Amino acid sequence: MTLKGKVALVTGSSKGLGRAVALRFAQRGADVVINYARDKAPAEEALAQATASGARAIVVQADVSQVGEIEKLFQAALDAFGKLDIVVANAGVEKVNIPVTEITEDDYDLLFRINTKGPFFVLQAAARHIADGGRIINMASSSTSRPQPGLGLYGTSKSAPKYLVKVLAQEIGHRGVTVNSLLPGPIDGAGIFTGVSDDDPYKRALLDTIPVGRLATAEDVADVAEFLADDRSFFITGEEILMNGGSSN
């Protein structure tokens, strides 16, 4: 129960990677705030799983690409639990395999609204409200350190929050708060690989670039997020942790 007594807020935690992280925190003793934007049913399922592990948990609907909604989300968390110790800026959207020459203004506006503006103001709210000694984690992407064709828009939209993490780590480090970015590679069973079989040509080609022989799972990412949320990670801040199985892409 390494997170016993902690309160964790994970954006975009009704399903996929965010849910895995939130549930891991709950299993380790944290009270959790589960956030969703539109689809309530998966959020309620995540809530049931969290409470089944013995955690206190709430569900809060909020579109974290809107600053007013972010403020509502954080206030709901504080009203329910009285404090925040861990914040994970996870909510995002993937739009990949698009050459730069084919990206539209609508594509750009969508990804930058959700992947850039959203995390910026979530991290800002976290800095304002997190308790001294807290942990802030930005869920970035390995694409920001491994440029490749078709990821120009997605990788660019995920890059700016990493810079903010480094600044924020310096601005609030005196409070004992750590701020880090986690850079997972593609996640098997989540994101663009939700429901995708191992026979998919794109997936097979990607596997050929990964020395460990498989994609990451959401549980792999939750392992590292758990460490970054724990007191043992105190001396790691302002960092980018790449976890892509040694992929050459």
Residue 24 inside a domain? The answer is: yes
What confidence score (pLDDT) does residue 202 get?
77
- pLDDT digits over 71-99, tens only? 999 999 999 999 999 999 999 999 888 99
Residue 249 inside a domain? The answer is: no
What is the tally of structural domains in the chain? Answer: 1
Q: Is the dihedral of CA 242, 244, 247, 249 positive or negative?
A: negative
What confidence score (pLDDT) does residue 3 get?
97
For residue 121, give the nearest of 87, 83, 153 by alpha carbon. Answer: 87
Residue 170 inside a domain? The answer is: yes
Nearest-angstrom CA–CA distance, 189 and 178: 30
Residue 248 inside a domain? The answer is: no
Residue 140 inside a domain? The answer is: yes
- pLDDT digits over 96-114, tens only? 889 999 999 999 999 999 9
Q: Residue 183 pairs with which residues in a beta bridge?
A: 242
The low-confidence residues of the chain, meaning pLDDT below 70, are: 248-249
What confidence score (pLDDT) does residue 208 get?
82
Domain extent, residue 114, equals 7-243
Residue 40 inside a domain? The answer is: yes
Instruction: Give the number of other CB atoms < 10 A from CB of residue 15.
Output: 18
Q: Give one DSSP letter per residue of the chain, joined into a string.
A: -TTTT-EEEETT-SSHHHHHHHHHHHHTT-EEEEEESS-HHHHHHHHHHHHHTT--EEEEE--TTSHHHHHHHHHHHHHHHS--SEEEE-------S--GGG--HHHHHHHHIIIIIHHHHHHHHHHHHSPTT-EEEEE--GGGTS--TT-HHHHHHHHHHHHHHHHHHHHHGGGT-EEEEEEE--BTTSGGGTT--TT-HHHHHHHTT-TTSS-B-HHHHHHHHHHHHSGGGTT--S-EEEESTT---
What confidence score (pLDDT) does residue 206 get?
80
- pLDDT digits over 152-165, tens only? 999 999 999 999 99
CATH number at residue 226: 3.40.50.720
- pLDDT digits over 54-69, tens only? 999 999 999 999 999 9
